Amino acid sequence: MNATLPLFPLNTVAFPGGLLPLRIFEQRYMDMVKKAIADRTPFGICAIREGKEVGAPAKPYEVGTRVQVTDWEMPQTGILHIKTQALERFVIRTTESDAQGLLRGNVDDIGAESRIAVPNDLRMAVDILRHIMEQVGADAFPEPLQFDNAVWVGYRLSEVLTLKLSVKQSLLEMNDSITRLRILNEFLKRQIS
């Protein structure tokens, strides 16, 4: 599906199905989020390729993720705390910036990866994810928990592991959940040894 989507370039990667809390304070993003809440429409989160989160529009990577606001609060004037649920991935075809510096992208959706069982040789990744969830708390992870689904396990590990932004972006762009999980499993093996 081809659509126009407001974009929020950040120094993070949103993975489909994940939960991402955000703190909004720039006026252009306050306006974008208020509209998303009022209209119940998504916006896009893209990792920053060049530039900064604040100030002039940053240049995003081409692949990002739609997110939907699930909850919000304004603890003080001028600061909005929101919780988002990441939906599907998209690829940016073109961008334009409005007078406020808000980027809008003409985007095409990337089809969701099909559910696939976690191979037995990659079960260590599942065990480590379970351990991380016990430490962090299950409420930081989306329901339903799908430890038997390589797509879900790979996305959740990609979110929580300390990886460079460019590595996380590469993991988001992959369309092969088993390869993604193999890469993460190898990373985990190196950390343990």
Residues in Cβ contact with 127 at an 8 Å cutoff, skipping those fewer than 6 apart = none
Averaged pLDDT score across all residues of the chain: 93
Strand partners, 149: 117
Model confidence over 1-15: pLDDT tens digits?
Answer: 678 999 999 999 999
* Residue 189 near residue 127, CB atoms below 8 Å: no
Quick one: pLDDT at residue 118? 97
The rounded distance, in Å, linking the Cα atoms of 18 and 66 is 11
Question: What is the DSSP track for 104-160?
Answer: EEEEEEPPPPPP-BPPGGGHHHHHHHHHHHHHH-GGGSPSSP-TTBHHHHHHHHHHH
The rounded distance, in Å, linking the Cα atoms of 115 and 41 is 26
Quick one: pLDDT at residue 37? 95
Question: What confidence category does residue 124 fall into, taking pLDDT thresholds of 50, 70 and 90?
Answer: very high
Q: What percent of the chain has pLDDT over 70?
A: 97
User: At residue 63, does pLDDT exceed 70?
Assistant: yes
pTM above 0.95, yes or no: no
User: At residue 52, does pLDDT exceed 80?
Assistant: no
- SS3 at position 167: helix
Quick one: pLDDT at residue 14? 97
- SS3 at position 33: helix
Quick one: pLDDT at residue 78? 85
User: At residue 56, does pLDDT exceed 80?
Assistant: no
Model confidence over 151-192: pLDDT tens digits?
Answer: 999 999 999 999 999 999 999 999 999 999 999 999 999 988
Tokens 């959940």 locate to 177
